[in-house]
Structure 1
Amino acid sequence: MEMPIHSCFGDLGGGMLTLDESLFLLINGWVGTSWSFDHLVFRIAHSHLLKGSVLVALLWWSWHRAQSQARASVILRTVVGVLMAVAVARAMQNLLPARLRPAHDPALLERGFVLFDEFDPAILEGLSSFPSDHAVLAFAMATAVFLEHRRLGIVAMVWALLTSCLPRVYLGMRYPGDIIAGAIVGTLVMLAVASLPVPQLLDRRVETLALRHRGLFYAVLFLATSQMATVFVDSRALFGTVANLVLLHLPRL
């Protein structure tokens, strides 16, 4: 069942929502200036290779730089941090008052919103705009990179902003406030998970298991990071299908 989308989010924001809309219209106002640039931004916004895979590559690079005796623990914390950040984002989207996507708000059309001709707003029907799960995931990964290598982490954050965040504002998929909130959530959750005290015995146990079952460890890690690169699209679709099938047959059990 699709989530009902309405404009009650404005009651929470007041004047801030007006500022958010104004900043959105300022960025979106460039649409139509150059079809080539618009097309490029559209392709970036829909490219898992540019958005997620590059950040995953930077993650693997930062993991390679980690001390060998603590590498598995660092990797495990990162994966847990990403999963927790995505879970928090989904909870916020489901529990907070739903917010219309910019492309679905008729008021913005009257204020000058420009829709790129290749973008179909129908694909976002029933999805709340706040916060941006793309920003949550991208900045969670970028923060994990930053914790291991500062310069590489700054590159990751700039890359996340340019590929996962700004294109979605430009095209009308998200408001700037959605992106900012998502970036904050992703960063804070990853920092929180990374700072959690873990008993040394558990750390040593993780390292021992990773070393003993190295092939399996990296095979599972590859699967996990491949889903991170695609914002867990396949995992969510599979989980949704299984959940629907279970609910469909539940009365018969």
Structure 2
Amino acid sequence: MTHFDTWLIELMSPAIMDSPRFDHAIETIVAMYLFKGVVLTMLLWWIWFRSERADGPDGAALRRRQCEIVVIAIVSGFIALAAGRLLAHYLPFRLRPMYEPALRAYFPEANIDEPVLRTWSAFPSDHVMLWSAVAMGIFLASRPVGIYALFHAIVLIGVPRILLGLHYPTDVLAGAVLGIGIASLMNVNAIRTRVAAPMLSLAQRYPGVFYGGAFILCFELTTQFDELRVLAHGLLH
């Protein structure tokens, strides 16, 4: 825990501790998938189809680039999610603020139904890593919409997790930087075109299979594989 973390937690705490309604609203935002990934996933679908009617050679090139960016945004999200889990596992353990005795007075009694929070390191925020990577992909396709997407990932996903004591501010900032960095690296032209090519070929040859699989993939990405994790836990225990 840094002095910056302590200072910002002390600064933000009155907003949620002094208002039960605000506390309830923040808990609702954290618990709902709509405020996590549904909106950003919808924007990826919008990017995929928005240049569908563009004509001529330039139009075809634009359509392909937009589709490549969508593929890479999803791939970057998976890489960010995996990297976040690996970093949390292998870096020194960091207890979540809500369980830190010295900070307990700064957080409400939140009813957050997330497994293994007490034993899973807080650093970095894998939620923010994942959705910052996706948001950066959206930004590269459309700057105005991408600015909102980055705001959504950092403020609507990250800040509520700080307010409830799920993460320190530096967990969220590090997650945002790492997610944006991964997406930026994956969008280097040589990497983007090579990684996206098999998916675009599949979409052209077998559109039914591709879009069916894309729907399932986006659903699991939006829920961060919660159901699969519950299923795996039930089978293994």
TM-score clears 0.5: yes
Partners of 2:198 and 2:68 lie apart in 1 by: 9
CA contact (8 A) 1:31 1:116 kept: no
Of 52, 62, 81, 1:86 maps to 81
TM-score, normalised by the number of residues in structure 2: 0.85
In structure 2, the residue matched to 1:185 is 178
In structure 1, the residue matched to 2:30 is 45
In structure 1, the residue matched to 2:128 is 135
Residues 153 and 136 of structure 1, relative CA distance in 2, 3 Å threshold: same
Residues 216 and 146 of structure 1, relative CA distance in 2, 3 Å threshold: same
Determine if the alignment matches structure 1 residue 34 to structure 2 residue 29.
no
Of 69, 79, 90, 1:95 maps to 90
2:32 aligned partner, one-letter code: S
Show the 5 A alignment for 1:1-253: 17-65=2-50, 67-109=62-104, 112-116=105-109, 118-119=111-112, 124-195=117-188, 197-198=190-191, 206-241=199-234, 244=236
What is the Cα deviation at residue 76 of structure 1?
Answer: 2.6
2:15 aligned partner, one-letter code: W
2:166 aligned partner, one-letter code: M
Residues 75 and 240 of structure 1, relative CA distance in 2, 3 Å threshold: farther
In structure 2, the residue matched to 1:6 is none
In structure 1, the residue matched to 2:59 is none
Partners of 1:121 and 1:170 lie apart in 2 by: 16
Residues 233 and 202 of structure 1, relative CA distance in 2, 3 Å threshold: closer
Q: How many residues align?
A: 227
Identity of matched residues, %: 32
What is the Cα deviation at residue 199 of structure 1?
Answer: 9.2
What is the Cα deviation at residue 75 of structure 1?
Answer: 3.2
2:18 aligned partner, one-letter code: T
Q: Give unpaired runs (5+ residues) of structure 1.
A: 1-9, 11-16, 246-253
Partners of 1:163 and 1:199 lie apart in 2 by: 28
What is the Cα deviation at residue 203 of structure 1?
Answer: 6.0
CA contact (8 A) 1:115 1:171 kept: yes
1:72-100, Cα deviation, whole Å (9 max, x unpaired): 43333222211111111111000000101
Partners of 2:141 and 2:229 lie apart in 1 by: 29
1:59 aligned partner, one-letter code: L
What is the Cα deviation at residue 210 of structure 1?
Answer: 1.3
CA contact (8 A) 1:32 1:116 kept: no
1:49-74, Cα deviation, whole Å (9 max, x unpaired): 12210111111112223533445433
CA contact (8 A) 2:132 2:180 kept: yes
What is the Cα deviation at residue 142 of structure 1?
Answer: 0.6
1:237 aligned partner, one-letter code: V
Answer 1 or 2: higher relative contact order, Cα 8 Å, separation at least 6. Answer: 1
Q: Give unpaired runs (5+ residues) of structure 2.
A: 52-61
Residues 102 and 68 of structure 1, relative CA distance in 2, 3 Å threshold: same
CA contact (8 A) 2:128 2:176 kept: yes
2:163 aligned partner, one-letter code: Y
Residues 146 and 43 of structure 1, relative CA distance in 2, 3 Å threshold: same
Q: RMSD in angstroms over aligned alpha carbons?
A: 2.5
